[in-house]
Amino acid sequence: MFRFQQVMRARKKITPPSGPGNLEGSQVPHNAGRGKRSGAASGLRLFGTRKYGLRKRLALAFDQMMFEWRDRRLAQTFAALPLEEIERIPKINGEMPRCQVTEPLVFVACDTVYFANYAPPLLRSMNRYSPGAEVHFHIFNPTLREVFEPIKRLRQECGTLRISLSWENVDFSASTEEYARVYYSSMRFVRLYQIFVEANRDILLLDVDSLVRARLETFWTRMRDADVTFRSRFSHPDPKRRMLAGVMGLRNSNATMAYLRSVAWRTALHLLKATHPPQWYLDQRLLMLEFNRRHAIPNELKYEPLSATYIDWHYRDSSAIWVGKGNRKQSSQKYQSLMRRLSATAPSQPEHRSSKKLP
């Protein structure tokens, strides 16, 4: 009966969680949903029926059912094991960001290669368009040439920014390349929780291949209205793709703390305790699963969506942050052009874009 219910749900329209601003244009392009079409209907039209036919939807529903079953079994098996006592979690080295500061903190986590390729353009974009911001990097397996030496130069070059750095060393000699890839993308949420506890302040999570194009104060205002803010696609047929974890606003509240702690604990179990190898999208699956659990309880976790005005992978001129989504960043001339300009070694001067006032 349970499997039959899962199959029938896959055939029906997926209903987004109730609460403030459930679809608010963050699921579909600006011109979708106009006229007589509803936002959900536009979302289904956007994602199409050829790519996600009945057979594909049934396969996705079964895959999600199996993931949730494994997650429940892990949580039951290790219910008495707190996050702090899970062995094999590497030690955090380096410095911590300032704590109990009113201004939010920008948090970025990545491996050495991504830091070398994308951190300089990101920091230069912030120095130019949002001077005065505070950024904390957490790096997996850093090297002197690709991380520690460049960070010294970037601190001098981006003089308006306050930059802190922590890192961890992980041995992947007995692991597959896919496991390392999943570890980098998912373990950052364990570190995010730990930094959140240490800093005791609001945090804006950014992917390192993002580019800031407006003052981040617009996000600070948005983050005060909810515990969590992110770009959502609740009507997407694939459960793995309903949350976009590249940009997240996290308010310093007890509800956010509990949400992040549960995500961090489950992430560590999947990475370090599970017998089934973790798969790509582990981070977005756990974030969405825990979000659904808590958001279903009235007033448990307040949520506000981020529209394309704030986070955008179509690289519109009016967007505040361009995110490097998949192969799209390689094929976009606008993204690559801005990347080339910001990758130059010449210092970037702060630029106040008074004409860009976001809601």
pLDDT tens digit string along 198-234?
999 999 999 999 999 999 988 888 888 899 999 888 8
**What is the distance between the alpha carbons of residues 16 and 8, in angstroms, rounded to a whole number?**
17
Q: For residue 73, is it within any domain?
A: yes
The per-residue pLDDT for 308 is: 84
Q: For residue 320, is it within any domain?
A: no
Q: How many domains does the chain have?
A: 1
Q: For residue 228, is it within any domain?
A: yes
**What is the distance between the alpha carbons of residues 115 and 279, in angstroms, rounded to a whole number?**
23
Q: For residue 356, is it within any domain?
A: no
What residues make up the domain containing 109?
Answer: 2-306
Identify the burial level of 135 via C-beta atoms within 10 angstroms of its C-beta, where 0-12 means exposed, 13-18 middle and 19 or more buried. buried
Task: For residue range 242-271, list pLDDT tens digits in order.
Answer: 988 889 999 999 999 999 999 999 999 999
Find where tokens 């600006």 sit: 30
* Residues making up the chain, counted from first to last: 359
Report the predicted TM-score, pTM, of the whole model to 2 decimal places: 0.82
Of residues 267, 77, 93, the one with CA closest to residue 182: 267
Q: For residue 340, is it within any domain?
A: no
Q: Are 291 and 303 in contact (CB under 8 A)?
A: yes
Q: For residue 156, is it within any domain?
A: yes
Q: For residue 331, is it within any domain?
A: no
Alpha-carbon distance values, 62 to 14, 145, 206, 337 (Å): 15, 46, 31, 42
CATH number of 218's domain: 3.90.550.10
pLDDT per residue, tens digit, the chain (359 aa), is 455 455 445 444 444 444 433 333 333 333 333 344 434 334 444 455 567 888 999 999 999 999 999 999 999 999 999 999 998 899 999 999 998 888 899 999 999 999 999 999 999 999 999 999 999 999 999 999 999 999 999 999 999 999 999 999 999 998 999 999 999 999 999 999 999 999 999 999 999 999 999 999 888 888 888 999 998 888 899 999 998 888 999 999 999 999 999 999 999 999 999 988 999 999 999 999 999 999 889 889 999 988 888 888 889 988 899 998 777 888 888 999 999 998 875 444 454 443 333 33
Q: For residue 154, is it within any domain?
A: yes
